[in-house]
Structure 1
Amino acid sequence: MVASAQLDLLQLFPFDLDDFQREAIAALDENASVVVCAPTGSGKTVIAEYMVHRALARKKRVFYTTPLKALSNQKFRDFCSQFGPEQVGLLTGDISLNRDAPVVVMTTEIFRNMLYGMPLGEMGTTLAQVEAVILDECHYMNDSQRGTVWEESIIYCPANIQLVALSATIANAGQLTDWITRVHGPTRLIYSDFRPVPLEIHFCSPKGLFPLLDRGNQRINPHFKNIKKHLRGERNLQADAPSHKYVIAQLARRDMLPAIYFIFSRRGCDQALEELGDLCLLDAHEQEQLARQVDDFVREHPEAVRTHQLSQIYNGLAVHHAGVLPAWKALIEELFQQGLIKVVFATETLAAGINMPARTTVISMLSKRTDRGHRPLNASEFLQMAGRAGRRGMDEVGHVVTLQSPFESAPEAAALALSQADPLVSQFTPSYGMVLNLLERHSLETAQRLVGNSFGQYLATLHLEPVRREHAEVSAELEALADGDAPVSEVELAAYEKLRGQLREARRLQMILKEQADREREQALESQLKFALVGSLVVVLDPLDRVAKTAVLVRKVPGPPLMLVCLTADNRWVVTGVGGVLDFQPHSGRFDEAEGLSIPTYLMLRPGGHIAGNPESLDLSCRLPALPVPEPPEAVTAQKNEVERLRLAQENHPAHRWSGRSAHQRVQHHREKLLKRHQRLAEQLSGESDRYWQEFLRLVRVLEKVEFLDNHKPNALGAVAAAIRGDNELWIALALLNPEVEKLNAVQMAGLAAALVSEPPRPNTWATVTPSAQVEEAIGALQQTRRNLVRLQRRQQVLIPVWLEERLVGLVELWAKGADWQTLCASTNLDEGDLVRLLRRTADLLRQVPHVPYLTDSVRQTCAESQRLLDRFPVSEAV
């Protein structure tokens, strides 16, 4: 081994390196961080191994982080075999081995917790001599529960430590790289879509196994082109799914085993194994090898054996899902890697990084059940499972088999197989622990900057980029709108515009008052005119010149509407309705001769009709008296005078005589529009860009309400919560500080801890053992505290769960009392894997308590003893 900056790659890796591996190594030797985005099985591990070799050669250290304890344990075993046990350490929370070794494998959460304990940007004693951190399975940033840990690790990691982010194929690897460059330092994207073992994708129906795509893997096989694509949820009664036995027979006949057979439910996996009966896929030599290892396991760990599936194990068949004991799963993984298990029925969790490559993966369904109902698989989920196919150095080609079902056929499978990977999204979510740990070491302003560095904030910034560009364009346009030289000031223009508005309003009011007066006049005259006699005098409005004139009623034309034919004093014939009559004078005399007048035949008998009179009508018209025109109501007259006053004021205003006023006003109106738009865009930018910071502040307000913070700094109570890792650190701290907790012994403490970390089980879950009276009393004492916290969180719009689940507490107490595993399993219908997970989550909390400050010695000691009671096989995690 060469102790220099550039190691002899040929000495380290006697095989040919791929281009992306060489590119990544060159970038690392130039002191850049890297994001390596390549398909599963393409050899990303080589880059991590190079960093280990380089660190050892330089007498430096390297951290290797993974998302899961099982992956960390597996990588620890691999590195011990490769570099020697003395060179490798392991930290997974419950296991601490050789922690000062040059190479330390750990869960990513442990690394994040280390960074919490150091001043920002400083190496501290924990990271002394560390020159690189490898973030394996970095696409776990997409995980809703763990994603925040990756973002925090990248944000808080000192800039002089190189980051090696290893990720499966994602659509936005460039964005991830750019973000790491911004928050950590120069980072290069090393991207490869090359698979050393190419994949062939098949479709299996009861009629056989066929290639799904054409020879170029660009489109669907023409054999399937005439098959109708189903609408989502549409059932095709003619499309039966092939049986599991038939599918495996097809794989065996084509030499496509071993295979991982993905089924998205534990029960489905178990039922598939039962369906195969006594099918055996091993030859005599393989059976002998497998039997020897299984017999040894049964002899050493009888309590961990799945006895009802033991016969299938001997035939080379197994299941692998969260309901299976970890020790049994480890045996399955080991046998599968040796090629002694030919088919393993597994849920999707097996695709998440466990080293179990196969020649073939079978994807039984293209949709899966979630908490929100069934949904189609997304492209990344499909690629993750498909990526398990093809063993490097063993297979020339890997196989992916999709199955026909009543809901899915070849077109749906082809569409998914040809889809590109999904983009990585941020799951960044502030927690009470994050708030307390940041504020313990940093000011509120620094914390805001750190939260603003999240990948979620970066993506939000990209999302707002069009808004930001538009905001800049509007700002530039506003600056370009110069006022110019105006003969009147803006104040005078504003006064003029106000005057114009007052005039418009005065005219509108004048019209309203006039219409109201006319309506009242018409209502008063209508009843009188119905009984008016021919020859009566009226005052009418002549349609020709709109002048009020005295007239005599010559004829009534019944309506509706009522029409009056009148002769005016200036010898004109006028036809009017009630609205055209201004006054009716029944007592001013009556001209009987009007009855004998002939109305011209060419006079249109409709309101508004009018013609000049003739000599026959002249004699009568000349004798008509001049009646006074009625004055309008005072309000109408006063409003008319107001309109005239405002009109004169407007005409005499200096702005009225400015010829450029209209153009100037158009510019001003445009400016006002731009200002409103500018404000709306600014509000949009402000509202979106600080979403994560607002979430952070909501948690700060909750912590202040319960007095865990003083002047934005954690006090003694806050220090308790800051030292805890959990779903809701504040709630766990409040529970541990309750005086009732001190009364519990070690067994009872285990039960209470389980209540604090357990999510509500499925509705059909049962357990025959109940909590002890002391634990029930402690839970009862915590109920009011829980209600207060839930209420407070709801007011602040905080959605962090507050668990206090007692249905499974009795099981944990039973195990803490020393019950054997068979007795525990017989006391509930929980799967064994779920039981282990419950007990491990409980033990994980108990393991933290002895290191939490400001708790009483009795609580810390009791929790330590309680954790020891739980930590026995198969709950204890073996490496």
Structure 2
Amino acid sequence: MSSISGPPSPSDRYRAAANRTAEAKTYLGSFARTLDFELDDFQREACRSLQEGRGVLVAAPTGAGKTIVGEFAIYLALQRGLKAFYTTPIKALSNQKFTELSAKYGAPNVGLLTGDTTINGDAPVVVMTTEVLRNMLYADSETLGDLGFVVMDEVHYLADRFRGAVWEEVIIHLPSEVQVASLSATVSNAEEFGAWLDTVRGDTDVIVSEHRPVPLWQHVMVGREIVDLFAGDTTFDEIAPALPDTEVPDLGESEETPPSESRAVSGKSAKRAVEATVRHAVTGPEFEVNPDLLAMARSESRMNVNARYSHGGRSRRRQDRQREDRQTAQRSPVRRASRPQVIDSLNRQGLLPAITFIFSRAGCDAAVAQCAASGLWLTTEREQQIIAQRVDEASHEIPADDLDVLGFWGWRDGLIRGFAAHHAGMLPTFKEVVEKLFADGLVKAVFATETLALGVNMPARCVVLEKLEKFNGEAHVNITAGEYTQLTGRAGRRGIDVEGHAVVLWQPGTDPAAVAGLASRRTYPLNSSFRPTYNMSINLIAQFGRARAREILESSFAQFQADRSVVGLARQVRGREESLAGYAKAMECHLGDFSEYSKLRRELSDAEQHAARDHQRARRSRVSDSLTRLIPGDVISVSGGRLAGYAVVLEVDPNAREPRPSVLTADNQLRRLGVHDIDAPVSAVTRIRIPKSFNAKVPKSRRDLAASMRNAVNGDSSRQRRNSRHEDFGLGSRAQDQERKIAEIRRALRAHPCHGCSDREDHARWSERWWKLRKETDGLVRQIQGRTNTIAKTFDRVCDVLSTYGYLDTHDDGRVTISADGQRLRRIYGEKDLLISQSIRQGAINDLDAAELASLASTLVYQAKREDRGLRPRMPSVSLETAVDIVIREWSRLEDTEEQNRLPLTAEPELGLMWPMYKWAKGRHLQEVLSGTDLAAGDFVRWAKQVVDLLDQLAKIPQLDPRLARICRESIDLVRRGVVAYSTVA
């Protein structure tokens, strides 16, 4: 491995000059003359490796210029009359590279393939998403002919647990004569990854550069003042190479935990290890945290404690300390700076353009609105004219009716002022405009989610992090050192800025040492997320046979890492077993077996939780059904919640995904009534007529109708009893069984000898610690047992499932071949590949028209942000109802089969996009499509493109009935219209 760090010695400079003289006559020399800057040493070394016929892994910081190596691979291919593929993990980055390379090599020489977009696919240089290349390899596409080089940009993305496995599939399956240039962010195990590449691809050089061409300064913004994070006048980049690569000790992972999410073991030893690691990184001899920030944090902490515990009289010592604290805190802000104030401060100090990372789409949009409301302007009159012209040109094809629902005018106003949001919920066309305007220096401030850090080329002079925690879909968690490096790596534009700046906003409770720990951890490990899927397995068997396919999977990076990790796992198990022995001693009870008693307590807790979940799910379903049956004029009695009392139904929306009738309450208030507003099903206690002249906006009309409702209720009081609560909510015998089981466990618990122990709860705390650590330790033991050939064993289980469903045929001589149904599965790519194939096989799409097919396809690609299951919407048609029944039935059967074979479960089909997609395919207006949903326009477009991608896969299956293939193409045409067709960026 070559590591480039520090200034070169005189002998190094002499050798470099001699090499350049020799290289002037080579392809590298001619390529270097096309550039308007001098190649860095790591770029030159990587290019030299490619020129000499070897593959390369280039790991360097964001903005260091890794893509130059990829461009040289393309240059070599063109000079030698070969093809070159440039792959990226996301479509947006593919589109951006396509634009750049088209400008450099000419539009006829560059193509684009992103699943839903095909431009000049037979060109000598083709930009594509990695999934497209994987699909081409499995299909043995003719496009692969004369392929000489493949550039794999952002290859560290293979750690992504959803899409990362595609990288390894491509690396394994590419023909051996193809040279691979892998471009990665700086990772701490580059040597390990490079060793695997060398094993599966042949000669591969690993070139690592720790040097940032633009130095990065680290700051904390306290109020409106920007304070250096580190003491001294040297950037962290200049001293980082001298620091040890401190890694938090590997504390182990459970079988269910992704590799990137390590769990800390119980006990003080782990805590001390982590603290020591951070302390070593932060307080080493090379640098120290700014003492002013540390004093500020101590002062804030003391003031909080004093405010919490002071009750009148104070000691003289406490008063002296508080006086000292007030003096120290004079530099502290009275309140945090607002977002407009932060941008204004950056502007005054010449730190724009800036990207502010806000881990919330709503927060990004709110930031733009706040800056606009504050009267902030960052652009000149000339810039405003250019921006307005560009925006209007980009949006001229969008119908005027769509502009309002897309939030166009607010977006346009923000751009003209010089700021914008950037997140996945935006219309792709809007994101593309923001990226271009920012790149051209016209937009000065962008508020973005972390998706911007995935590779889209939007460097800035300054990067701001509002917080150091984000919501990961389940909980709020601190960002990792790798994420911090990826985000702040955007700061500093090569060739424009002398230096870059990373700014963390001060929050209550900010720990400067912790921030310094994040900033000092410059690298992070790359862990494989590879596992055999149904589609992957059946394609491998079709090409190589089962035995050879098994061998190929054993060569994956996942297996490579697994084999190396067994020794470390065994060491962790030994340490945990010692802790378990101590916990067992601490929970001993003189009255009996406390582990047995503890088991009963856990069984009781689990049973109560299951019963509560069933009860809540049934309640919501019954409440939803009761709301669905209401009609205007029904008078209902709401038995609980904030709307308790009588109300009359004014309006219902039969097409809403979740019923929310509009009602008038007895106190003349207009409200929307949803399942969360009431605690029991409702029904009409009586009915009244709503006058045709009724106008909900007129107070007198509301009062008159409310009076009519009260009179009707008083005159029909006997009916009020009909709305009594139903505590079982339809659970019936199941609820009774659950209650019986809970009662039995409680009796056993009370009868146990340990129940009467005076130290019972103390023993219980130690028991809970023992069981938690036991579970984690058992997970490690299972990992050790399964590490040998773990990928191949998973492949065997996948094959067992495929055989169960009849996709594989085993012959008398032991040969395994692909059945006709299996051939269909070979062309279906996605997380629900087998479920999609089974649904087609069972006739789910046979009786659907084109609009219904688009609606059904949405259930097989859509992923809701949060849990929103248990409520099944009314289907648009009987045919679609039948189709959904088939899909749900096949999913349930598949889930049972996967559980039996110890495989990851296929995600449940999501029905939340069915109505919007059906309306869209029926030609409805975008505003009507999005009405009543939480979908942003950009989200809808993104999911619509995935629906198109799935339909396109189905239409191209050779074994599909021609009539169904025609309906798939018709469905694509219905979905690919309007905003879905405006932009190629997804």
- Report if aligned partners of 2:365, 2:421 keep a CA contact under 8 Å in 1: yes
Alignment-derived partner of residue 863 in structure 2: 759
- Report if aligned partners of 2:851, 2:922 keep a CA contact under 8 Å in 1: yes
- Report if aligned partners of 2:922, 2:974 keep a CA contact under 8 Å in 1: yes
Deviations 1:708-742 (A, max 9, x none): 11113220111111110011211100111223421
Given the alignment, which residue of 554, 558, 563 partners 1:461? 563
Deviation at 1:3, TM superposition (A): 11
Alignment-derived partner of residue 339 in structure 2: 244
Per the alignment, in what secondary structure is the counterpart of residue 365 of structure 1? coil
Per the alignment, in what secondary structure is the counterpart of residue 800 of structure 1? coil
Given the alignment, which residue of 352, 368, 383 partners 1:286? 383
Q: Could you say which structure has the larger radius of gyration? A: 1
1:337 partner amino acid: A
Bigger Cα displacement from structure 2, 759-768 vs 150-159: 759-768
1:290 partner amino acid: I
1:793 aligns with 2:862: no
1:339 partner amino acid: G
Alignment-derived partner of residue 604 in structure 1: none
Deviation at 1:7, TM superposition (A): 4.6
Distance 1:289 1:140 in 2: 36
Alignment of structure 1 residues 190-339 onto 2, 5 Å: 190-206=207-223, 208-214=225-231, 215-216=233-234, 217=236, 218-228=287-297, 241-276=336-371, 277=373, 278-301=375-398, 302=400, 303=402, 305-306=406-407, 307-339=409-441
Distance 1:352 1:760, change over 3 A: closer
Deviation at 1:465, TM superposition (A): 5.2
- Report if aligned partners of 2:221, 2:504 keep a CA contact under 8 Å in 1: yes
Given the alignment, which residue of 92, 98, 104 partners 1:76? 98
Distance 1:757 1:262 in 2: 28
Bigger Cα displacement from structure 2, 380-389 vs 792-801: 792-801
Distance 1:156 1:404, change over 3 A: same
Distance 1:769 1:834, change over 3 A: farther
1:867 aligns with 2:972: yes
- Report if aligned partners of 2:857, 2:950 keep a CA contact under 8 Å in 1: yes
Per the alignment, in what secondary structure is the counterpart of residue 12 of structure 1? coil
Per the alignment, in what secondary structure is the counterpart of residue 497 of structure 2? coil
Deviations 1:102-160 (A, max 9, x none): 11111111111122234xxxxx7432211110000111011111110011111111121
Distance 1:274 1:768, change over 3 A: farther
Given the alignment, which residue of 915, 922, 927 partners 1:817? 922
Bigger Cα displacement from structure 2, 303-312 vs 371-380: 303-312
Bigger Cα displacement from structure 2, 331-340 vs 296-305: 296-305
Per the alignment, in what secondary structure is the counterpart of residue 780 of structure 1? helix
Bigger Cα displacement from structure 2, 325-334 vs 214-223: 214-223
Distance 1:732 1:467, change over 3 A: closer
Alignment of structure 1 residues 421-460 onto 2, 5 Å: 421-460=523-562
- Report if aligned partners of 1:227, 1:410 keep a CA contact under 8 Å in 2: no
Bigger Cα displacement from structure 2, 165-174 vs 687-696: 687-696
1:349 aligns with 2:451: yes
Deviation at 1:373, TM superposition (A): 1.2
Deviations 1:206-228 (A, max 9, x none): 16111111223333123223344
Bigger Cα displacement from structure 2, 452-461 vs 786-795: 786-795
1:779 aligns with 2:881: no
Deviation at 1:300, TM superposition (A): 3.2
- Report if aligned partners of 2:844, 2:884 keep a CA contact under 8 Å in 1: no
Alignment-derived partner of residue 984 in structure 2: 878
Given the alignment, which residue of 674, 677, 695 partners 2:794? 695
Given the alignment, which residue of 162, 181, 189 partners 1:164? 181
Per the alignment, in what secondary structure is the counterpart of residue 299 of structure 1? coil
- Report if aligned partners of 1:224, 1:411 keep a CA contact under 8 Å in 2: no
Distance 1:282 1:108 in 2: 39
Deviation at 1:774, TM superposition (A): 2.2
RMSD of aligned residue pairs (Cα, Å): 2.8
2:792 partner amino acid: W
Deviations 1:516-556 (A, max 9, x none): xxxxxxxxxxxxxxxxxxxxxxxxxxxxxxxxxxxxxxxxx
Distance 1:322 1:147 in 2: 20
Q: TM-score, normalised by structure 2?
A: 0.64
Distance 2:865 2:121 in 1: 36
Deviation at 1:337, TM superposition (A): 1.0
Given the alignment, which residue of 835, 845, 856 partners 2:961? 856
Per the alignment, in what secondary structure is the counterpart of residue 803 of structure 1? coil
Deviations 1:158-201 (A, max 9, x none): 12111100111111111111110001111001111111111111
- Report if aligned partners of 2:354, 2:461 keep a CA contact under 8 Å in 1: yes
Distance 2:150 2:829 in 1: 22
Deviation at 1:798, TM superposition (A): 1.9
Deviations 1:486-509 (A, max 9, x none): xxxxxxxxxxxxxxxxxxxxxxxx
Alignment of structure 1 residues 610-649 onto 2, 5 Å: none
- Report if aligned partners of 1:61, 1:102 keep a CA contact under 8 Å in 2: yes
Deviation at 1:42, TM superposition (A): 0.9
Deviations 1:83-111 (A, max 9, x none): 00111111111222222211111111111
Distance 1:220 1:323, change over 3 A: same
Given the alignment, which residue of 496, 500, 503 partners 1:401? 503
Deviation at 1:298, TM superposition (A): 4.0
Distance 1:163 1:872 in 2: 38
- Report if aligned partners of 2:224, 2:345 keep a CA contact under 8 Å in 1: no
Distance 1:468 1:327, change over 3 A: same
Q: Gaps spanning 5+ residues in structure 1: where? A: 119-123, 470-680
Deviation at 1:762, TM superposition (A): 3.4
Alignment-derived partner of residue 587 in structure 2: none
- Report if aligned partners of 2:463, 2:503 keep a CA contact under 8 Å in 1: yes
- Report if aligned partners of 1:757, 1:803 keep a CA contact under 8 Å in 2: no
Given the alignment, which residue of 381, 395, 401 partners 2:483? 381
1:270 partner amino acid: D
Given the alignment, which residue of 822, 832, 837 partners 1:718? 822
Distance 1:386 1:235, change over 3 A: farther
Deviation at 1:76, TM superposition (A): 0.8
- Report if aligned partners of 1:154, 1:184 keep a CA contact under 8 Å in 2: yes
Alignment of structure 1 residues 481-560 onto 2, 5 Å: none
Distance 2:76 2:432 in 1: 31
Alignment-derived partner of residue 172 in structure 2: 155
1:36 partner amino acid: V
Alignment-derived partner of residue 844 in structure 1: 949
1:226 partner amino acid: A
Distance 1:173 1:468 in 2: 24
Deviations 1:806-855 (A, max 9, x none): 23211111111112323323352311121112211111100111111322
Alignment-derived partner of residue 95 in structure 1: 117
Per the alignment, in what secondary structure is the counterpart of residue 846 of structure 2? helix
2:350 partner amino acid: D
Distance 2:527 2:782 in 1: 24
1:731 partner amino acid: L
Distance 2:129 2:857 in 1: 23
Q: TM-score, normalised by structure 1?
A: 0.72
Q: Gaps spanning 5+ residues in structure 2: where? A: 1-22, 237-286, 308-331, 572-779, 811-815
Alignment-derived partner of residue 173 in structure 1: 190
Given the alignment, which residue of 807, 821, 833 partners 2:912? 807
Deviation at 1:2, TM superposition (A): 11
Distance 1:31 1:685 in 2: 39
Alignment of structure 1 residues 94-173 onto 2, 5 Å: 94-118=116-140, 125-173=142-190
Distance 1:229 1:182 in 2: 52
1:188 aligns with 2:209: no
Distance 1:235 1:682, change over 3 A: closer
- Report if aligned partners of 2:437, 2:443 keep a CA contact under 8 Å in 1: yes
